[in-house]
Amino acid sequence: MITHQVELESTGVGTSCNLTLRTFGPPSGRKALYIQAALHAAEVPGLLVLQHFLAMLAELEESDRLLHRVTVATWANPIGMAQHLMGHLTGRFDLGGTGNFDRNFCDVRSEIGATFGTAEQRIPSTTELKSWLSNAALKFDSSLDPVHVLKRQLLAIGFEHDAVLDLHCDKTAMMHIYSSWDYQERAAALAQCMGAPILILEDEAGGGTFDQAFRDAWRKIKSLGISRDPAIGFAAVVELRGQRDVSDELAVADAAGLVDFLRSEGIARTDTSVSAGPAPAIVALNAIEHVAAPSAGVIAWKAACGQHVTRGAVIAEIAACDSEVPGRRTPIHASASGTLIARAHISLVTPGQRVAMIGGNEALPDRQSGKLLHD
Ligand SMILES: [Zn+2]
């Protein structure tokens, strides 16, 4: 195992920030996987999962069962982890004003087109391409804003690898995974290894998330015929249930799921497979319905995450608390039939607040490719 510290731009006088990367496996390993956690800094389940995963990787390496390289960033967002507001770790949006920590990663597709788009261009090796992409991310712009520097650095590290996994979590949720249609089979294997019942797929989600920026670059390279290596360019986001689902029991099982994914990718040799569970249900991202609260009040849930709901069913009620008729409630109806994947975790809601996410079977007319992610 090799430990590497990446110094980041300081966020202020007397403050230093870094990423800690731990790389396992033989340097000559042809494949390489990168995993990070808590890019949304308050989504902490992945931080504990990676602690258990590191111990499992060390065991695999010691017993010569790690065939290729795996790099773990034990945390992805030290800037966000330090941003508490009135005693609360916010984590999703930068308090410094740059927005959502997992949006607007650099899009290097036009640089790829300008550099490799000519017919006389020599075809670079995969190693050369990875190095070029990593440099392109680092030099994408000259902003010294610490969050911009962090995003360039994370993507540059990702580009040094063939595939990336980004560990997040939802508010209150069942485990689910986001990836793309062009890697459906590998994404389904990941979901099965992790025991995730839902796999959400889309090629053009938009928003410039970390995984999308990585995937877009490789899709562009492949569209130009520069690389046809099917192993390269896979990216997925694992939503490790809800923010409160943090325990050693869950983390050990999830880390074992990641090791099983290494086995399915041919990165590690393991004695057993834990992926005995059923294949995930596949949901198109444009069939994901976000349900908004119709009024303010305290939300009382009538449906659990993982439950199938039918269109029009009451999934929750809102108690206004100031109603002239005590006990009068406003129902929240499911706006589509499907699986209730995620719910709000704060029980006092405001009108228009997104409080539930339902994965249905049909594309929804108001969902547009390239604009499929809410902030
Ligand atoms: Zn997240």
Q: Dihedrals φ, ψ of 213, to 5°?
A: -60, -40
103 CA to centre of ligand 1 in angstroms: 10
174 CA to centre of ligand 1 in angstroms: 14
In a domain, 364, yes or no: no
Same domain for 294 and 161, yes or no, is no
What pLDDT digit, counting tens, does each position of 134-170 carry?
999 999 999 999 999 999 999 999 999 999 999 999 9
Same domain for 247 and 307, yes or no, is no
Q: Mean pLDDT throughout 264-290?
A: 88
227 CA to centre of ligand 1 in angstroms: 30
Same domain for 295 and 245, yes or no, is no
In sequence order, which residues have a C-beta less than 8 Å from that of residue 80 and are 6 or more positions away?
Answer: 38, 39, 40, 41, 42, 90, 91, 94, 101
In sequence order, which residues have a C-beta less than 8 Å from that of residue 242 and are 6 or more positions away?
Answer: 169, 170, 171, 172, 173, 305, 342, 345
Same domain for 61 and 176, yes or no, is yes
pLDDT classification of 230: cutoffs 50, 70, 90: confident
Of 279, 304, 331, which residue is a domain's last? 279
HSE value, Cβ hemisphere, 13 Å, CA-based, for 37: 26
- Residue at token pair 């939802």: 170
CA 86 – CA 101 distance, rounded (Å): 20
Structural domain harbouring 130: 2-279
pLDDT score of 231:
87
Q: Are 309 and 315 spatial neighbours (Cβ–Cβ below 8 Å)?
A: yes
Same domain for 216 and 323, yes or no, is no
370 CA to centre of ligand 1 in angstroms: 18
92 CA to centre of ligand 1 in angstroms: 7
Same domain for 195 and 314, yes or no, is no
Of 279, 302, 329, which residue is a domain's last? 279
What pLDDT digit, counting tens, does each position of 72-100 carry?
999 999 999 999 999 999 999 999 999 99
What pLDDT digit, counting tens, does each position of 16-58 carry?
999 999 999 998 778 899 999 999 999 999 999 999 999 999 9
286 CA to centre of ligand 1 in angstroms: 19
239 CA to centre of ligand 1 in angstroms: 7
29 CA to centre of ligand 1 in angstroms: 30
What pLDDT digit, counting tens, does each position of 162-182 carry?
999 999 999 999 999 999 999
Q: Mean pLDDT throughout 301-318?
A: 97
67 CA to centre of ligand 1 in angstroms: 30
Q: Mean pLDDT throughout 350-368?
A: 92
In a domain, 365, yes or no: no
Nearest partner of 336 among 317, 355, 316, 308, judged by Cα: 308
In a domain, 373, yes or no: no
CA 233 – CA 39 distance, rounded (Å): 20
205 CA to centre of ligand 1 in angstroms: 15
Write out 192-218 in H/E/C secondary structure: HHHCCCEEEECCCCCCCCHHHHHHHHH
168 CA to centre of ligand 1 in angstroms: 4
Same domain for 102 and 70, yes or no, is yes
27 CA to centre of ligand 1 in angstroms: 31
In a domain, 371, yes or no: no
176 CA to centre of ligand 1 in angstroms: 12
39 CA to centre of ligand 1 in angstroms: 7
Total domains present in the chain: 2
Of 279, 306, 340, which residue is a domain's last? 279
Q: Are 337 and 360 spatial neighbours (Cβ–Cβ below 8 Å)?
A: yes
